[in-house]
Structure 1
Amino acid sequence: MRAVQLVEWGEPPELRDVPVPEPGPGQVLVKVGGAGACHSDLHIMDAPGPPPAFTTPLPFTLGHENAGWVERAGPGVTGFAPGDAVIVYGPWGCGLCADCREGRENYCRTSGGQGGGLGGGYDGGMAEYLLVPSSRFLIPLGTLDPRQAAPLSDAGLTSYHAVRRSLHLLGPGSTAVVIGAGGLGQMAVQLLRALSSATTIVAVDTDAGKLDTARRMGADETLLSGDQAVTRIRDMTGQHGAELVLDMVGLDPTLRMAAQVARVLGHLTVVGLGGGALPVDFASPPHECAVAAPYWGSIPELMDVVTLAQQQKVRLLVEHFPLERAPEAYQLLRTGKIQGRAVITPHG
């Protein structure tokens, strides 16, 4: 089969021919319908060497945001049949530690929640087939198309987890600010609208087109990034700031903005992997504003996301690319020219 693999650190990935994996006991071979291209892939590709705790040897297949159809199941697998449409939960934990037992395999105490395409010794799904090490990582999609649903496993799940942990703050009169209106930000806006109808949602970005999309997806106000956006958010919140600020970018300028528009006792959640640093002193972020950097989400939370998608309460703008155009998709992603999510479709 063909697979998009990282062969050398700091070099672009290559399309290579590799053997089709054979599922062993408890494992499932998935025919990949869609594999999302994610910014975290760019960070891995650009790294001069293995990141900390990264144990996967080169070459390995990229792609940690996957959905498709069951091709073959190994001995002992029940509940799935060939042809079933499934989405793949991305962070593959040990299944035995306390966090894994509660479905939080993203915080596995053994593997650090790394899955295929991100480390942990597993190939990802940017290939014609993906070997999933356990059937517990598969969630039925029902009538959802795997080529459209693949980004739900990361863009959807990560955004859902980031929003859900702060819902108790988002009552009537509250404000939630989403900085960055790309694929992650668009999903966060929709989830805020679906889960907290009372809150005022503000989307901030440098791209007017993405802001137009955010407004169509439920944002009450859209602002071009900059000092005027900070002033507007402060004004509309009576100078108190927003109860929840989601930074879906994570660059130095966006983190500075996040600290400026958060409120006392609010939540400032850093989701983006831009590599910036949040300025912290006695007055910034505001007093007792909780700062968190969540990682992915739990298996039950992905089940929630799939249900919301089945109910048509969330959707992602998806641009499809065949496997041989994966490098082009990554380049468009790098230059900010993907409006939603780029999804590689190995089987058309």
Structure 2
Amino acid sequence: MKALQYRTVGAEPEVVEIDTPEPGPGQVRLKITAAGVCHSDDFVMNMPAEGFPYPLPLTLGHEGAGTVDAVGDGVDEIAVGTNVVVYGPWGCGQCLQCAQGLENYCPRAAELGIFPPGLGAPGAIAEYMIVDSPRHLVPIGDLDPVATVPLTDAGLTPYHAITLSLPKLVAGSTAAVIGAGGLGHVAIELLRHLTPARVIALDVTEEKLEFARSVGAHEAVLSDADAVDAVRKITGSRGVQAVFDFVGYQPTIDTAMGIVGTAGDVMIVGLGDGQATAKIGFFAQPFEVAARAPYWGSRSELIELIDLAHEGVLDIAVETFSLDEAPEAYRRLGANTLTGRAVIVP
């Protein structure tokens, strides 16, 4: 079968021919119908060779949708032919967090050598993939897999972050979204559907700001040296009640801390360069501000998102590429020229 693999540290991913995998006991094989491309992959592929965390070659893709093609011994929870998406942050399945569906916060996954697909385990940018357990599959019925597959990360990650701040996003409140890309534009749509908050989007080009307005942002502000003053002119002294930073570089985190109001939340979602931090101290920000770094989301939240998709309340912008065109999708991702989410269709 064909697969997109990261084979050499520092090199571009390559489309290669590899053996079609067979499901072992308890496993499920999917015939992939769509797979998403994410900045997390770009972050991984820019890691230095020293201490690179995953064995190579690595089949990329942690956003996956497919049709159940074969099952291993002992699997009777899901039928061949079922259309599904893959819940990506796999955990041990036994600890307290996993018992709550919070496998994204499993404390034992690393020590047990359990990795998400595409981020350690073979991923979804291939013709077939193996899923370790049927509990990591969510049926999608008649939903379009291309439009739905971004929900597994580009939807789930902002949904999880937003739910943490819902008590503060009441009538008269303001939410700010920094970065209106693959995750950020979904966050804007979710904020408009789930809350009465006024939504301010920040990004670096007028084109991105116009895109943010088109998906529901009430206000759009250039993310530059004047961004804090520009947002403060909109919110006044109250500031922003919840800031969602989908970029994660030091300048955007500093902007987030500069616009958040008293008792507000700063959610640092974007990976940035992996080095940026929020400056917290008694005089560093308004009183009772909470800065958090949420990661992905729970299995139950993915099920909730699929329910929202069936209701037709989400319209995720996607650009599609064939499997042979997958390297170009990653070039576009690195150059920041994608609108919304890139989806590979084998």
TM-score tier (shorter): over 0.9
Normalization by structure 1: what TM-score?
A: 0.94
**Deviating 4+ runs (over 4 angstroms):** none
TM-align CA RMSD: 1.5
Contact 2:278 2:291 in 1 (8 A): no
Cα deviation for residue 81 of structure 1 reads 2.2
Distance 2:17 2:157 in 1: 32
Q: Report the equivalent of 2:190.
A: 191
Distance 2:88 2:249 in 1: 25
Contact 1:94 1:110 in 2 (8 A): yes
Cα deviation for residue 51 of structure 1 reads 5.2
Question: 1:6 aligned to 2:6?
Answer: yes
Question: 1:108 aligned to 2:106?
Answer: yes
Q: Report the equivalent of 2:64.
A: 66
Distance 1:18 1:228 in 2: 51
Q: Report the equivalent of 2:230.
A: 232
The SS at the match of 2:84 is strand
Q: Report the equivalent of 1:21.
A: 21
Deviates more, 1:212-221 or 1:245-254: 212-221
The SS at the match of 1:5 is strand
Alignment: residue pair count: 341
Q: Report the equivalent of 1:209.
A: 207
Q: Report the equivalent of 2:326.
A: 326
Contact 2:91 2:104 in 1 (8 A): yes
Distance 1:286 1:10 in 2: 42
Q: Report the equivalent of 1:94.
A: 92
Distance 1:286 1:326 in 2: 45
The SS at the match of 1:324 is coil
Instruction: Tell me the alpha carbon deviations over residues 296-339 of structure 1, each in whole angstroms, 9 at most, x when there is no partner.
Output: 00000000111111111112111111111111111111111001
Deviates more, 1:235-244 or 1:177-186: 235-244
For residues 51 and 326 of structure 1, do their structure 2 counterparts lie closer, same or farther at Cα, with a shift above 3 Å needed?
farther
Cα deviation for residue 282 of structure 1 reads 3.4
For residues 147 and 199 of structure 1, do their structure 2 counterparts lie closer, same or farther at Cα, with a shift above 3 Å needed?
same
The SS at the match of 2:201 is strand
The SS at the match of 2:45 is helix
Distance 2:28 2:232 in 1: 51
Cα deviation for residue 155 of structure 1 reads 0.5
Cα deviation for residue 201 of structure 1 reads 0.6
Cα deviation for residue 2 of structure 1 reads 0.9
Distance 2:152 2:176 in 1: 23
Cα deviation for residue 80 of structure 1 reads 2.3
Aligned AA (1:258) = A
Matches within 5 A, 1:270-309: 270-275=268-273, 276-309=276-309
The SS at the match of 2:264 is strand
Contact 1:68 1:147 in 2 (8 A): no
Q: Report the equivalent of 2:342.
A: 342
Distance 1:62 1:50 in 2: 20
Normalization by structure 2: what TM-score?
A: 0.95
Cα deviation for residue 228 of structure 1 reads 3.9
Unaligned runs of 5+ in 2: none
Distance 1:302 1:25 in 2: 25
Cα deviation for residue 252 of structure 1 reads 1.5
Cα deviation for residue 227 of structure 1 reads 4.1
Cα deviation for residue 279 of structure 1 reads 3.3
Cα deviation for residue 231 of structure 1 reads 1.9
Instruction: Tell me the alpha carbon deviations over residues 137-180 of structure 1, each in whole angstroms, 9 at most, x when there is no partner.
Output: 00011111112211110010001001011000011110000010
Cα deviation for residue 232 of structure 1 reads 2.9
| Equivalent residue in structure 1 for 2:216, among 202, 215, 218 | 218
Aligned AA (1:144) = L
For residues 57 and 80 of structure 1, do their structure 2 counterparts lie closer, same or farther at Cα, with a shift above 3 Å needed?
same
Distance 1:69 1:211 in 2: 37
Aligned AA (2:166) = L
Q: Report the equivalent of 1:316.
A: 316
Distance 1:146 1:79 in 2: 21
Contact 2:221 2:231 in 1 (8 A): no
Distance 2:23 2:240 in 1: 49
| Equivalent residue in structure 2 for 1:262, among 229, 247, 260 | 260
The SS at the match of 2:324 is helix
Cα deviation for residue 206 of structure 1 reads 1.0
Q: Report the equivalent of 2:143.
A: 144
Q: Report the equivalent of 1:47.
A: 47
Distance 2:128 2:183 in 1: 26
Instruction: Tell me the alpha carbon deviations over residues 17-61 of structure 1, each in whole angstroms, 9 at most, x when there is no partner.
Output: 111111122211011111111001011111113657x3x421121
Distance 1:285 1:94 in 2: 38
Distance 1:116 1:80 in 2: 20
Matches within 5 A, 1:162-201: 162-196=161-195, 198-201=196-199
Distance 1:51 1:261 in 2: 36
Contact 1:106 1:114 in 2 (8 A): no
